Structure 1
Amino acid sequence: SGLQAHTGNYGRIYNYNMSVPDPIVTDNPTNAAMARGTTPNPTSQPIIRTISFNETLTDSQSTATEHGITAGAEVTVKSEAGLIFAKVGFEVKVSFQYNYTTTNTYTTETSRSWTDSLQITVPPGYVTEHTFIVQTGPYSKNVVLEADIAGHGWFNYSAPGYTGTGIVNITQVLYDNKVPGVTPYPDNFYARFRGSGKLEGKMGLQSFVNLVERPLLGRAGQVREY
């Protein structure tokens, strides 16, 4: 008797779901000085001035499939998740994509404009230094990649006096091939796949203007920051 290799495979992957089990980011944000300027006031009267900023910062992101599943064609799925930057109390939506069937790494860069405008009053005999700052949050998270698998394969078998063709369900094929991350459903004709990926990047969170008042050279006074 004998058993030949499968001669056909009719399967599909569906019900995709990607999630970030731990959405809390505990890394410290960093502050980037995007623009600087000064407004001196050598007069005896206060100076009122409006300062404006418009700067561009690039957000970057990379996604990598660490444990996927082999299929007849590439399967790429897009999704989004909310990340909570604990140090500043912000929740931000991030979009990402993964390829379930390869170890592809996707890298994206997105430019965003950051603007601010405010009115300042410079006291007599002082200079105001103004710095436009954009706060950036780095993140590195594990992602769970899930999907349902269904289908069957054909095989040929032979024994003394007869030959035949049989059908094997998808879970049996996966079990025989020792595919990790696969849990069969009770009927054994469907299975749930659980893989993993990595999500890393940095993104702008908020902007603000830092103001410092200093007495002009040769003038008396205190340094104030606000």
Structure 2
Amino acid sequence: MSKVKGRDAKSAPIGLREKSRRETLGRIRAAAVELLAERGYDQMTTREVAERAEVGEATLFRYVNSKQQLLLLVVGDKMDEHIDTIIGEDTRTAKGGPADAGSFLQRIHGLYKARADFYLGDPENVTSYVQNAFVAGSDLGAKNIAQGDRVIERVALIIREGQALGHLLASVDAQVVAQNCQGIYVHEILRRSVRGFSHESLEERVRARLDAQLLPLVRP
């Protein structure tokens, strides 16, 4: 391992330039968090973020190249943490819970209840995050898809575990069902405003559609 003045490079002090960079990025992130909460993604401007962070707009664009990347910086990072949490919670549930058909379906419902709770914490900005992932050339697209894929893989894993134990139909493609479950969640977020649904109804709407996917998997 390389050394820096007798100490591991890993523990070497941060240089002044890097310290300044991190502090500036921290101010930009904090400003974006505040303005997203106050004004929402659609109304917030990069100029406002720069002013709140006490940097020039040209400096702001050395750290992020678009307003979309500000959304990625704030909501995208929170989404990563959220998915880490729900996967960890499901892992603990799997170790301590009963092994019957209902328990596997409940684990999937638990994942999407937690996802609905995350949405309710910041519905307008989470909606903007999901919407912008579908814009051609979006900065958010790759990250959002990777996050969705993590949830899909977890749901597919749960289904395969149930199939292996004989509780769920083995003839069903677990990956396709998991993709459908994720598609339901995204669709219900995107159609809320068009249909005039309340934010609070997301969990109920998702659960009803998940049941239509999952209940037929239970072996008679």
TM-score (norm 1): 0.18
* Bigger-Rg structure (1/2): 1
In proportion to residue count, which structure has more strand?
Answer: 1
In proportion to residue count, which structure has more helix?
Answer: 2
Greater relative contact order structure (CA < 8 Å, 6+ sep): 1
TM-score (norm 2): 0.19
